[in-house]
Amino acid sequence: MKLDRLILVNWGQIPSGDYDMGDMTLLTGETGSGKSTLLDGLQTVMTAAYSGILNYNPGQDEVTQGQRRGKSKRSVESYVVGAEYSKFSRPDGAQGYVAAVFRPDQGEPELTPFTAVIAVAARVDGTGEKRQAKLETFVPFIVDNAALSYADFMLDPERGACIPTEQIVRKLKTSHSRIQEFHERKRDYLSALYGRFRGKNGVTWDEASQAARAWVQSIAYRPIGSVHELVRDEILDFDGKQLQQDVERISGLMRQVANLREEGRRLEESVSKLDALAGVLTETAKAHEDHVQQGLLVARLQRKLDEERIDACKKEAAKAGEDIKVLEARIERRDLHAKGLDERRTQLKAQLLGIPAAQQKAELERQLAAATAETQRVLGGLSQSLIAASLLDERAEKATSRPYQDGMPGVDAALQEVAQARAATRLEALSQHQTKVFSAAQTKEPDAEQMLALSSVFNEQSNTGLDRLYAAMVGTGASLQTAVTQEMVRVDQRVETADNLVRDLGAKKAKLAKGGVSYPPNVELAISRIREAHPEANALVLCDLVEPVSESWQAAIEGYLGGARFNIIVDPDWERDIMNLVRANNWRVNIVQGSMCLREAERVFLPADSIVH
Q: Can you spell out the DSSP letters for 536-580?
A: GG--EEHHHH---SSGGGHHHHHHHHGGGGG-EE--GGGHHHHHH
Asked whether the beta carbons of 133 and 124 are under 8 A apart, the reply is: yes
What span, in angstroms and rounded, lies between the C-alpha atoms of 122 and 96? 8
- What 3-state class would DSSP assign to 132? strand
Max distance between CA atoms of the chain, in angstroms, equals 161
- Residues 6+ away with beta carbon under 8 Å from 252: none
Asked whether the beta carbons of 538 and 592 are under 8 A apart, the reply is: no
- What 3-state class would DSSP assign to 172? helix
pLDDT of residue 67: 44
Asked whether the beta carbons of 57 and 36 are under 8 A apart, the reply is: yes
Domains and CATH numbers, the chain: 2-222 (3.40.1140), 224-336 (no CATH), 378-488 (no CATH), 518-602 (1.20.1060.20)
Q: What is the pTM of this model?
A: 0.40
- What 3-state class would DSSP assign to 496? helix
pLDDT of residue 360: 75
Distance of CA 196 to CAs 201, 356, 453, Å?
6, 125, 112
Asked whether the beta carbons of 546 and 565 are under 8 A apart, the reply is: yes
What span, in angstroms and rounded, lies between the C-alpha atoms of 274 and 473? 87
Distance of CA 314 to CAs 306, 528, 568, 575, Å?
12, 94, 105, 108
pLDDT of residue 43: 93
What span, in angstroms and rounded, lies between the C-alpha atoms of 80 and 464? 108
Stretches in the chain below the pLDDT threshold 50? 60, 63-64, 67-69, 230, 234-235
Mean pLDDT estimate for the chain: 80
- What 3-state class would DSSP assign to 387? helix
In terms of C-beta density within 10 A (0-12 exposed, 13-18 middle, 19 or more buried), how is residue 206 classed?
Answer: exposed
What span, in angstroms and rounded, lies between the C-alpha atoms of 529 and 545? 20
What span, in angstroms and rounded, lies between the C-alpha atoms of 17 and 165? 17
In terms of C-beta density within 10 A (0-12 exposed, 13-18 middle, 19 or more buried), how is residue 233 classed?
Answer: middle
In sequence order, the β-bridge partners of residue 156 are 161
Distance of CA 362 to CAs 44, 347, 371, 373, Å?
127, 17, 14, 17
pLDDT of residue 99: 96
Q: How many residues does the chain have?
A: 613
The span from the first CA to the last CA of the chain, in angstroms, equals: 55
In terms of C-beta density within 10 A (0-12 exposed, 13-18 middle, 19 or more buried), how is residue 356 classed?
Answer: exposed
What span, in angstroms and rounded, lies between the C-alpha atoms of 420 and 290? 94
Asked whether the beta carbons of 95 and 10 are under 8 A apart, the reply is: yes
Half-sphere exposure of 97 (CA within 13 A, CB side): 31
Q: Where are the beta strands (DSSP E) in 355-495?
A: none
pLDDT of residue 481: 78
Asked whether the beta carbons of 438 and 406 are under 8 A apart, the reply is: no
Contacts 24+ apart (CB under 8 A), 18-22: 18/149, 18/150
pLDDT of residue 190: 95
